[in-house]
Amino acid sequence: MEASSWVDQVKPKLSQLSPNLETVLCVPLIHMELIRQKLPLSKIGAQNISTYPDGAYTGEVSARMLAPLVNYALVGHSERRRHFHETSTEIALKVTQALDNNIIPIVAVSGQNWLEQFNHFQPHELSRCLIMYEPPEAISRQTGPVGEGDAAPVEEVLPIIAQIKRSAPNSPVLYGGSVKSHNIAKYLEAKIIDGVVPGSASLNAEEWLRLMAISQEIRG
């Protein structure tokens, strides 16, 4: 099983990570129990969450269902917006559901849509979220196989991060967009960026361990 192989490669190295380095594994729903059993000290995030509370919503996974399993939930990822046409209103509903069930939302924003997105949140909600900035140019470059996009130049990212922080001063802001071991350092070396969100690079255990080693060296 691919997920089991990933865990077996990663587990021996986890004890070497500094406790100051906060790591969240956002895994598919079907692998959550595996991660909980084999990596019991890991913080887990959901890759999506329902807009609805408990009820007759066949196929939906509500925040209350996820609450015993996860610490975080990705909300509004660019792929959810693009392929499932999620709206800012729906994303705001997901944030409310997550927070009402003590799940920390990692809210993905892209380009200038964060300005519009933030208008859908209550101030007390925004201050309890993590914000992940996904540059539109990094997303649009991902026209080849999954994970072969180009990261945005850090000098283009920093002004946007600064703007987001002025609008959400109490929310940590992360960079997400084709983060790999060969480029992660330049984002982590920028103190204004509170962390990074690697995507497909994390599927490879060796690459994920390289990402962690670099993160520890810079931020640990």
If one compares 60 and 135, the residue with the highest pLDDT of the two is 60
Amino acid at 15: S
Residues in contact with 173: Cβ distance below 8 Å, sequence separation at least 6, in sequence order: 130, 131, 132, 133, 161, 164, 165, 192, 193, 194
Phi and psi torsions of 136, nearest 5°:
-60, -30
Structure tokens at 43: 């913080």
> 94: helix, coil or strand?
helix
- pLDDT band for 147, please (50, 70, 90 cuts): very low
Every domain of the chain and the residues it spans: 23-137+149-219
- pLDDT band for 116, please (50, 70, 90 cuts): confident
Summarize pLDDT for 91-108 with one digit per residue, the tens: 999 999 999 999 999 999
Q: Is 77 a catalytic residue?
A: yes
So what's the pLDDT on residue 94?
A: 97
Q: Is 2 a catalytic residue?
A: no
So what's the pLDDT on residue 143?
A: 46
Exposed, middle or buried, 77 (CB in 10 Å: 0-12/13-18/19+)?
A: buried
Fold of 23-137+149-219: TIM Barrel (3.20.20)
Residues in contact with 180: Cβ distance below 8 Å, sequence separation at least 6, in sequence order: 151, 198, 201, 207, 211
Catalytic option among 33, 134, 156, 207: 134
Structure tokens at 160: 């946007």
Catalytic option among 60, 77, 86, 182: 77
So what's the pLDDT on residue 144?
A: 45
- pLDDT band for 83, please (50, 70, 90 cuts): very high
> 213: helix, coil or strand?
helix
pTM to 2 decimals?
A: 0.92
Mean pLDDT of the chain: 91
Per the CB < 8 A criterion, the answer to whether 24 and 35 are in contact is: no
